[in-house]
């Protein structure tokens, strides 16, 4: 889109249902301007594209009017209704391009940094999501003048080669890249912060001595803690607010209850609880918690020795006690209903902290959100834990039955120890006792008896003794031949490889050859990725795709051959070794794939199918004719799969080769 300006008649709306102000929308290089037809209208708009973070639009097939929704970085959305879908498309493309151009203007040099490259790809990804695939090519190319540099290196070359050559469609090409991008964008840690171990709810209220006011400070974090630790309060909040009482009233009551408990004025607590039933909820012990605890107690292994005696009860001993506010807590015998000991509070808090919080930091906006979020997470957890309960019960029963067996009455459990027995080593070293004599193929071709053979040896020796040695022992031509044979490859590069640390084969090649090799490697990798991903071939589209890929692979093979021939002789050998796996993929792999196998649904991903085949084989234990045929089919497919597995290992090995050397 190299045109500088787009102007369309639109209606500007603030929301979808709004009637809209008719006017003109002008899109220029960096800004969009909306001028209403009625000059007195207040809804003028003039903003730069850099403030627009996202844009959405209605799809052509739907019954809605063509609308474009632009979201600014401050969260405001501007909706424009167009007269036709073509207008919408034009404007949308312009906006999309402008988004991409945003980075283009920052300067090409900065784009070298990987971070920003990802940002660009991120934008492209967003762009793709919002646009049908056919539009991508033209728009991206239009914007590519400044982003050219970044895409130039590998991506654009690949793009040109495959998409331009018609081997892959745009969508397929970017599909794999999308996955890469998603992985990067999700790298923001989704780690939740934990809860503080200090008991926030214990923070003292601000007590104003002059006026009789007690001020409690409740932050969303404190609220979260309260809801986590006291499920009854959480339930009460969900039930009462906003139906029965306002948020503020609820918290006022809660804080009053807290104050009462802290003041340890039991009588006052009882009195107030009798009056106000909501307050009573806060003062009573938490019944949800009690139920949970009872359930947990039931699940404890009954064989656990939990014997206690009076010595374990230290809370009632005279000099023991836990100081909370500086004063010793002496729990009274009666009225334990309205009392909470420090122990209980601490235990509960610790349990909650260890459990962690199921909601994120950004959900701590206000009390309502916190409550809802916690409720949602609790519901999820309860559905998940229902199965756990039943299985836990079964395990418990099993554990009980096992623990109840009495050791003395059990049968003897002697493990049969095999006695150590090692064969006499002389059996090995004594070659005369070897069982069979299939030692060598060329065992005894001679028809001579042993006496004759020995005679030959003796004859040779006496010959030397009498005649002496030849002069010269070795003829000079022979010696020269031998010397050249032994030394001919000393100058070859293969002896120099690996001698210097840090040097790799690819670095020692001339740059043009190296670049070409790397490009071939990347292209073949790309092709193979698409090839493997289109299995199993279940429809015609995939079939054509695979055929196209195969043709492209054979083209690559001829290119590799040409490269090999064009290169100098001394490095030709190295290049041959390097590209041999690439060529093997083409020579060996594609012709070997019988087309029938490709189409059959059995030709699935190798490891799964292998397992499946094994299992099916085990199932086909009968010998009816149909099952025999099944077995034969499976056998054949298994052999093909083994072959395919070999090819896969080839591919993997080749990949590894390049990873190591590059």
Partner 1 sequence: SFSDDVSLLVVLIDTNPFFWSTSSSSLNFHQFVSHVLVFLDLIVRLSQLNQIVVIATGHNTCDYIYDSSLDTDQVTGEGELPALYSFVLQRLEEFVNKDEKLGAKQEGLSEKRASSLLSGSLSMALCYIQRVFRSGPLHPQPRILCLQGSPDGSEQYVSIMNAIFSAQRSMVPIDCCYVGSHNSAFLQQASYITGGVYVKPQHLEGLYQYLATVFAVDLHSRSFLQLPRPAGVDFRASCFCHKTTIDMGYVCSVCLSIFCKHHDKCSTCGSVFGKAQLDAASDRKRKASES
Find the farthest-apart pair of alpha carbons in the chain and give their distance in angstroms, rounded. 135
Of the two residues 290 and 461, which places its CB atom closer to partner 1 in the complex? 461
Q: With respect to partner 1, which residue has the nearer C-beta, 183 or 488?
A: 488
Nearer to partner 1, 460 or 544 (CB): 460
Picking from 93, 70, 68, the residue whose alpha carbon sits closest to that of residue 82 is 68
Which residue(s) pair with 458 in the sheet?
A: none
Cβ(578)–Cβ(505) below 8 Å: yes
Give the nearer residue to partner 1 in terms of CB position, either 391 or 440. 440
Q: Are 27 and 7 in contact (CB under 8 A)?
A: yes
Binding site for partner 1 (CB under 8 A): 418, 420-423, 428-429, 431-432, 434-440, 442-446, 448, 450-454, 456-458, 460-465, 468-470, 473-475, 478-479, 481-483, 485-486, 490, 495, 614, 617-618
CB closer to partner 1, 429 vs 608? 429
For residue 370, which of 190, 221, 244 has the smallest C-alpha distance?
Answer: 221
Helix (H) / strand (E) containing 8 = strand 6-13
If the CB atoms of residues 300 and 483 are measured against partner 1, the closer one turns out to be 483
CB of 455 to partner 1, least distance (A): 8
d(CA 180, CA 185): 9
**Residue pair 332/266 in contact by the 8 Å Cβ criterion:** yes
| Smallest separation (angstroms) from partner 1 to the CB of 506 | 23
User: Judged by CB, which is closer to partner 1: 274, or 474?
Assistant: 474
How many CB atoms neighbour CB 645 within 10 A? Answer: 14
Q: Which residue has the tokens 């290119």?
A: 559
- For partner 1, the closer of residues 284 and 636 by Cβ is 636
The least CB distance from residue 491 to partner 1, in Å, is: 10
| Interatomic CA distance for residues 653 and 24, integer angstroms | 61
Judged by DSSP in three states, 25 sits in strand
Closer CB to partner 1, 180 or 639, in the complex: 639
**In angstroms, what CA-CA distances link 636 with 11, 340, 546, 602, 620?**
67, 74, 23, 11, 15
User: Minimum distance from CB of 655 to partner 1 (Å)?
Assistant: 21
The minimum distance between CB 584 and partner 1, in angstroms, equals: 17
Cβ nearer to partner 1, comparing 211 with 476:
476
Spatial neighbors of 190 by CB under 8 A, at least 6 apart, are: none
Is the CB of 27 or the CB of 641 nearer to partner 1?
A: 641
Cis peptide before 472 (omega within 30 of 0): yes
Residues 193 and 362: beta-carbon distance below 8 Å = no
Provide the token pair at 394.
């079964």
Q: How far is the CB of 602 from partner 1 (least distance, A)?
A: 17
Closest-CA residue to 364 (of 492, 225, 235): 225
26 pairs with which residues across the strands? 7, 33
Q: What is the closest distance, in whole angstroms, from the C-beta atom of residue 650 to partner 1 in the complex? A: 16
Is 37:55 a contact under the CB 8 Å cutoff?
no
Smallest distance, Å, CB 615 to partner 1?
11
DSSP of 304-364: S-----GGG--TTSTT---BSSSSB----SS-GGG---HHHHHHHHHHHHHH--SS-GGG-
Q: Measured from the CB atom, is 58 or 606 closer to partner 1?
A: 606
Q: How far is the CB of 517 from partner 1 (least distance, A)?
A: 24
Contact between residue 29 and residue 1 where contact means Cβ atoms under 8 Å apart? no
Smallest gap from Cβ 657 to partner 1, in A, equals: 16
Q: Which of 54, 69, 74, 71 is nearest to 16 (CA)?
A: 69
Q: Within a 10 A sphere around the Cβ of 392, how many other Cβ atoms? A: 13
* Cβ at position 652, least distance to partner 1 in Å: 18
Q: How far is the CB of 629 from partner 1 (least distance, A)?
A: 19
């Amino acid at each position: 889109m190299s045109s500088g300006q787009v102007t369309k008649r639109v209606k500007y709306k603030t929301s979808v249902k709004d009637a809209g102000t008719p006017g003109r929308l002008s899109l220029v290089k960096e800004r969009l301007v909306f001028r209403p037809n009625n000059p007195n209208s207040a809804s003028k708009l003039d903003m730069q594209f850099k403030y627009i973070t996202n844009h959405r639009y209605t799809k052509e097939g739907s019954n809605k009017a063509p609308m474009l929704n632009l979201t600014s970085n401050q969260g405001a959305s501007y909706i424009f209704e167009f007269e036709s879908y073509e207008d919408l498309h034009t404007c949308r493309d312009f906006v999309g391009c402008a988004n991409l151009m945003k980075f283009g203007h920052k300067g090409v040099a900065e784009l070298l940094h990987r971070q920003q490259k990802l940002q660009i790809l991120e934008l492209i990804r967003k762009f793709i999501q919002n646009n049908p695939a056919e539009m991508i090519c033209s728009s991206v190319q239009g914007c590519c003048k400044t982003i050219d540099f970044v895409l130039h290196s590998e991506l654009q070359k690949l793009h040109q080669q495959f998409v331009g050559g018609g081997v892959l469609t745009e969508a397929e090409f970017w599909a794999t890249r999308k996955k890469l991008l998603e992985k990067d964008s999700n790298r923001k840690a989704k780690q939740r912060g934990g809860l503080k171990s200090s008991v926030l709810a214990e923070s003292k209220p601000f007590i104003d001595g002059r006026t009789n006011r007690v001020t409690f400070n409740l932050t969303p974090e404190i609220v979260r803690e309260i809801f986590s630790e006291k499920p009854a309060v959480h339930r009460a909040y969900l039930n009462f607010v906003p139906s029965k009482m306002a948020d503020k009233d609820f918290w006022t009551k809660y804080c009053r209850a807290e104050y009462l408990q802290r003041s340890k004025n039991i009588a006052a607590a009882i009195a107030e609880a009798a009056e106000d039933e909501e307050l009573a909820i806060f003062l009573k012990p938490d019944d949800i918690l009690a139920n949970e605890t009872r359930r947990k107690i039931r699940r404890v292994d009954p064989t656990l020795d939990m014997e206690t005696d009076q010595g374990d009860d230290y809370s009632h001993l005279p000099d023991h006690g836990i100081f909370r506010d500086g004063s010793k807590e002496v729990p009274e015998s009666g009225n334990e209903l309205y009392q909470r000991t420090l122990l209980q509070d601490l235990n509960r808090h610790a349990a909650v902290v260890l459990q962690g919080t199921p909601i994120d930091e950004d959900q701590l906006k206000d009390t309502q959100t916190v409550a809802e979020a916690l409720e949602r997470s609790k519901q999820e957890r309860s559905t998940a834990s229902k199965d756990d309960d039943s299985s836990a019960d079964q395990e418990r029963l099993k554990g009980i039955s096992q623990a109840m067996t009495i050791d003395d009455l059990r049968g003897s459990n002697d493990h049969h120890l095999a006695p150590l027995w090692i064969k006499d080593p002389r059996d090995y070293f004594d070659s005369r006792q070897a069982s069979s004599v299939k030692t060598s193929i060329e065992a005894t071709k001679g028809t001579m008896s042993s006496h004759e053979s020995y005679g030959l040896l003796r004859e040779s020796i006496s010959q030397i003794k009498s005649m002496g040695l030849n002069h010269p022992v070795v003829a000079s031509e022979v010696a020269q031949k031998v010397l050249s044979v032994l030394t001919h490859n000393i100058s070859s590069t293969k002896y120099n490889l690996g001698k210097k640390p840090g040097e790799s084969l690819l670095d020692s090649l001339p740059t043009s050859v190296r670049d070409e090799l790397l490009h071939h490697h990347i292209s073949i990798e790309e092709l193979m990725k698409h090839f493997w991903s289109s299995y199993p071939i279940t429809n015609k589209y995939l079939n054509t795709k695979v055929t196209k890929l195969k043709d492209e692979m054979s083209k690559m093979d001829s290119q590799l051959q040409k490269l090999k021939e064009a290169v100098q002789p001394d490095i030709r050998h190295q290049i041959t070794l390097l590209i041999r796996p690439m060529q093997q993929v083409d020579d060996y792999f594609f012709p070997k794939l019988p087309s029938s196998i490709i189409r059959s649904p059995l030709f699935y991903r190798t490891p799964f199918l292998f397992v499946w085949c094994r299992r099916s084989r085990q199932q086909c234990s009968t010998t009816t004719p149909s099952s025999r045929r099944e077995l034969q089919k499976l056998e054949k497919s298994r052999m093909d799969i083994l072959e395919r597995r070999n090819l896969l290992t080839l591919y993997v090995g080749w990949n590894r080769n390049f990873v190591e050397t590059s």
